[in-house]
A and B are shown apart, each in its own frame.
Chain A
Amino acid sequence: SMAENREPRGAVEAELDPVEYTLRKRLPHRLPRRPNDIYVNMKTDFKAQLARCQKLLDGGARGQNSCSEIYIHGLGLAINRAINIALQLQAGSFGSLQVAANTSTVELVDELEPETDAREPLTRIRNNSAIHIRVFRVAP
């Protein structure tokens, strides 16, 4: 899953009255996961995530089912970690792996649940940065 969302900006918070609304962050919209997509989060151990990527690239015991390219996605706080993983993969590959990064902006939805019957629930949109790193094999 994606990283935990960052906290709302000051402007959003100023309008929000904690007595009347409760903030609930919704899951970010995302595309269906292919086998070679890896969404980096801040909760799982770094080493485990690195090992997972490595395993995908290496494949099974005799190199079967190995992916020639994987995509590492990081959102918000996890951008650093995504970059870190990609670079570690590259450094450990003796030059056989290359990385190509793309950045994007993801729209996140905050739901404001009313605490009184008379109010409608509100939704707020805030943006967060995301990175998509393609790690692929090149002929050495």
Chain B
Amino acid sequence: MSNAKERKHAKKMRNQPTNVTLSSGFVADRGTKYHNGGGRHFHQAQKQEPFPGTSRQRQTKMTHHSPVDPDVKEQSSSKIMFKKKGGWKAGPEGMSQEIPKYITASTFAQARAAEISAMLKAVTQKSSNSLVFQTLPRHMRRRAMSHNVKRLPRRLREIAQKEAEKAVHQKKEHSKNKCHKARRCHKNRVLEFNRRQKKNIWLETHIWHAKRFHMVKKWGYCLGERPTVKSHRACYRAMTNRCLLQDLSYYCCLELKGKEEEILKALSPMCSIDAGLTFAAVHCLSGKCQGSVLLYRANRYPREMLGPVTFIWKSERTPSHTSESRQLWIWLHPMLKQDILEELKAACQCVEPIKPTICTPGPLLTTSEEKSQTELPDEKIGKKRKRKDDGENAKPVKKVIGDGTRDPHQPSSWISAATGIIISDLTMEMNRLRLIGPLSHSILTEALKAASVQTEGEDTEKTPHHWWIETCKNPDSVSLHHRQEAIFELLGGITSPAEIPSGTILGLTVGDPRINLPPKRSKVLPNPEKCQDNEKVRQLLLEGVPVDCAHSFIWNQAICKNVTENKISDQDLNRRRSELLVPGSQLVLGPQESKIPILLIQQPGKVTGDDRRGWGSGWDILFPKGWGMAFWIPFIYRGARVGGLKESVMHSQYKRSPDIPGDFPDCPAGVVFAEEQAKNLLEKYKRRPPAKRPNYVKLGTLAPFCCPWEQLAQEWESRVQAQEEPSVASSPSGEDSDSRRDKLPCAPTPENTDLWSDEGGTSLSSCSEPREAMDTECPARVGTEWVACQDATGSLLCVLRSRKWLKQLSTWCGPSSRDKRAARRASGSGEPAPTRAACLPLLERFPRALVWVSLALLRKGSPEPHSMICVPTEEDFLRLRQDQLYCGPQESKHSDPFKSEIRKQKERKKVEKRQNKQAPTEREGLAGGPPAAGHQALTLGLWSGPLPGVTSHCSRVLLGFVTQGDFSMAVGGGEALGFVSLTGLLDMLSTQPAAERGLVLLRAPASPQYRFARIAVEV
């Protein structure tokens, strides 16, 4: 009999009275009448009454059977039945089925009485842990039984009552003592929403997202991570063939206002022309194009990276060269904001905060009002009272628009007395939506219509769209508006955003996009009529948008505020729509229609490399806050698919551009990101039982969750140095790495420091094994030197971003670049292999640098994040050449030095536990916790303690790590992006033969299989 079956049966019989056994399958199957009074056979027993003494006889027979298992007591009758089954089968007296001769009435009645009472007890006692009403048969169940006790049969009410009370106690305190209906009423809902967005900022599309996306709290925002529907491939298709929409309103905008020269002078130390164009690039400075730049701490290039940003200058209306006051917007990822804002303030000497003018009226409730709202429900007040109260607070509750978390008294702009520059933080003051894909043109032109020019109408300060009437009085402005409109209409005839000059800016003023909302969600298709070849389109493609058309009123804060405040509510709009004479006809608001200034920015797609050029290009649209949903829904109704954060990562991965902030290991935000990621992965790893998770120690993966960049760069540096000195090079690698570790201050990954510090405190108390001794001395070293190496060696780590050198590297990387002429041109000397002499200036300047590389799998395999990039050996190449199907070498199994340690700890713990049990009083004072708890730091399958030499730990020398990697649907094969050590890359390239130059091996952290990949540096 299976164990599980037995257990199940035992559970069923758990609450049965001692001498009663329900007839179970076992009894019935046998077909014996040999029962001792199971409910079903009860009447049979009564029939047998004329024969007294049966029961006694049965008792004796029972005892006769029981010797099979003499321990078994009467209590566990069910058990007896089981145990006896075998005995019955085997026993010769299995045929004792004859009916008893006589029954003694009194004993029989006694036995029956006991049985009946037991049965009654069993009926009243509930055996399972389900609720009473759940145990009822289906035909007796009623609606809302759990809610209303009276719907239950009367006999069960008492129990149900008890249960209900218990449930009430268990249930956490209901936050608002309001009924569902009251909570759903608009005012209360807005209040509740306002409360909930005090901690994390909500985007304006939050509710829409929350219904359809997995939401995450990140960077101080609530963001949609990925759609709940299965849509990975659909989103890819949308990016490639149709249109993907994203809400990027969480991106932060910093505004710099001041004289052009002053701003440029202040910003120039923060960027370098070596790493690409700067803020002063001519076409960006005019306001024609968006630029992108990598920011560094002032004068610290190439180290101390702060992060990548994009920027736009406000175009000058009049082409005078006075450049009195210019406006510059810097758009950046929220994770980079703190560092960059501080650095900008320092660079511009903006120290004087400007007091916020009349702390944001409206959106945030005043505290007194809030208090009244929260206090009211506490005292149980009647309906009437509530109504009256509502009447008092006649002022409608305002929705939070913009940043709900910010303290209104906190300054958001700073001025400098010396330079006159004003820096303001415009976070959440604007919405930013991104449309990716070829259909974005059609969607934009369908959904948005340029605002109509408005000349008549009373012109007072109080009319809602006063600014527009004023603008329309100026013929120049009107003609500019018409030109902008004409260019915008031209966009509809262009099939892909990639055909337009990258970074093009187009300003426009549009009407309310809700007016033209189609009645149903539909898919727009490009209109072939618009796509006729014409001179205007040709000119647009060649020259881009003229500078003056980049002008938009969105740069004017007052107008933006006006537009936000004068938005017609959805309710009003719908009411007017319902009042139309012909239902479904076009709603004409006339002068009351809002005019919204917007800014369109073209986003270039994939610009590096040869293939899939222009993939993932699209448009960003900026508009004032408060209008998020008004633009969002029309886009969706035209067939845009919405993506979340995961789709952003996919977008950047297929574009082969580094993801912000994950792929910037040299910037503080990147380090924080890596730490968080490592923590999450470690937690996830620990959740699985040890047997169901990879043992990374045995696989030879030292750092499966976090890439030790610094250690990698250091080791390669000393490795190459050692190669130059032959005496050192001859020493065995293990010794070499050890000595190196002593020589260099160890550069622990953040995750590991945690592990050590946990262990360090405890292992002192435990036994004195050599390995532990090593551990104990290490934390001390960490404690003292970790800070030091942050300053001394940590600053040496950088990522190579010099365009000149990257171009050189990309030609060195071998035959990956198909454009051979370009390769020859760039390399200059025409020398294909990097020689020692050619590398030297590079290595001297960047001794510990990383290079951003892209990897394409040669044959099978799809890489994962944190995969290791390794250098193949001669014999790997040999086998690759010989065998068409050769996938790659395999890493042999490593020994796990920690396993015995963990086992010992376990045993120790067990012993301690036993001791604790035996002498609780004696041990209590000692509190046996610490020694046992401390050793939890050791996790089976993870390397604990300082990492040994990472480069030479496995059979193939480690070159770098993958940060993003997956099967690429765009290429139809595995693709990965990652960083390698510059020193290592050059070393590898110089030794590899020309035919195989640029081939590396990739190994996933949880696999012993290496796979071939081709490395490429794309500029």
Contact = CB atoms under 8 A, between A and B. Distances in A.
Interface of A: 4, 7, 18, 22-32, 43, 107, 109, 111, 114-121, 123, 125
Contact of A123 (B273, B528, B543, B1019): B543
28 contacts: A4-B610, A7-B819, A22-B1019, A24-B613, A26-B498, A26-B499, A27-B496, A27-B498, A27-B613, A27-B614, A28-B499, A29-B495, A29-B537, A30-B496, A31-B531, A32-B495, A32-B527, A43-B611, A114-B277, A114-B282, A115-B277, A117-B277, A117-B280, A117-B282, A119-B282, A120-B283, A123-B542, A125-B542
Contacts of A28: 499
A26 B543 CA distance: 13
Contacts of B277: 114-117
Interface string B588-623: 000000000000000000010011011000000000
Interface in B821-871: 821-822, 825-826
Contacts of A119: 282
B232 interface: no
Given A107-B538, A109-B542, A117-B281, A24 B526 contact: no
A22 B806 CA distance: 13
Contacts of B527: 32
Contacts of A123: 501, 542-543
A25 B613 contact: yes
Given A28-B499, A114-B282, A120-B283, 16 more contacts: A7-B819, A24-B607, A26-B499, A27-B613, A32-B528, A43-B611, A107-B538, A109-B499, A109-B541, A111-B502, A114-B281, A116-B277, A117-B281, A117-B282, A121-B501, A125-B542
Interface residues of B, number: 37
Interface string B875-893: 0000000000000000000
A121 B528 contact: no
A28 B526 CA distance: 17
Contacts of A27: 496, 498-499, 613-614
A97 B485 CA distance: 46
From A23, A43, A120, residue with most partner B Cβ within 10 Å = A120
B97 to A, nearest CB: 69
B525 interface: yes
B822 A23 contact: yes
A116 to B, nearest CB: 7
A7 B823 CA distance: 13
B20 interface: no
A114 B502 CA distance: 13
A78 to B, nearest CB: 15
Interface in B192-222: none
A120 B547 CA distance: 13
A119 to B, nearest CB: 7
Interface in B325-359: none
Interface string B272-286: 010001101111000
A22 B494 CA distance: 25
B501 A7 contact: no
A26 B282 contact: no
B531 A32 contact: yes
Nearest to B291: A117
A30 B496 CA distance: 8
Nearest to A18: B825
Contacts of A43: 611
Nearest to A23: B822
Contacts of A18: 825-826
B89 interface: no
A74 B253 CA distance: 45
Contacts of B611: 43
Interface in B352-379: none
Contacts of A117: 273, 277-278, 280-282
A28 to B, nearest CB: 8
Contacts of A109: 499, 541-542
Contacts of B282: 114, 117-120
A27 to B, nearest CB: 5
Given A24-B607, A31-B531, A120-B282, A115 B803 contact: yes
Nearest to A124: B542
B635 to A, nearest CB: 19
A116 B278 CA distance: 9
A111 B821 CA distance: 17
Contacts of B614: 26-27
Given A24-B607, A118-B282, A29 B541 contact: yes
Nearest to A31: B531
B821 A7 contact: yes
A111 B280 contact: no
Contacts of B825: 18
Contacts of B821: 7
Nearest to A43: B611
Nearest to A22: B1019
A35 B181 CA distance: 52
A30 B826 contact: no
Interface in B762-804: 803
A123 B528 CA distance: 26
A11 B803 CA distance: 26
A56 to B, nearest CB: 17
A4 B612 CA distance: 10
A119 B286 CA distance: 12
A27 B611 CA distance: 11
Contacts of B613: 24-27
Contacts of A4: 610
Interface string B498-526: 11011000000000000000000000011
B490 to A, nearest CB: 12
A32 B525 contact: yes
A116 B289 CA distance: 15
Contacts of A118: 282
Contacts of B826: 18
Interface in B989-1019: 1019
A18 B282 CA distance: 19
Nearest to A118: B282
B975 to A, nearest CB: 15
Nearest to B826: A18
B202 to A, nearest CB: 38
A31 B542 contact: no
A121 B542 contact: no
A9 B285 CA distance: 32
B495 A121 contact: no
A100 to B, nearest CB: 21
Contact of A30 (B283, B495, B543, B803): B495
Contacts of B283: 120-121
Contacts of A120: 282-283
Contacts of A29: 494-495, 499, 537, 541
A30 B501 CA distance: 16
B528 A31 contact: yes
Interface in B634-692: none
A28 B495 CA distance: 10
From A25, A31, A117, A125, residue with most partner B Cβ within 10 Å = A117
A109 B278 CA distance: 25
Nearest to B610: A4
Contacts of B541: 26, 29, 109
Nearest to A125: B542
B818 to A, nearest CB: 9
B826 to A, nearest CB: 6
A107 B495 CA distance: 15
Nearest to A119: B282
A105 B281 CA distance: 35
A76 to B, nearest CB: 14
A36 B753 CA distance: 62
Contacts of A115: 277, 803
B565 to A, nearest CB: 40
B491 to A, nearest CB: 13
Interface in B369-402: none
From A22, A32, A123, residue with most partner B Cβ within 10 Å = A32
B540 to A, nearest CB: 10
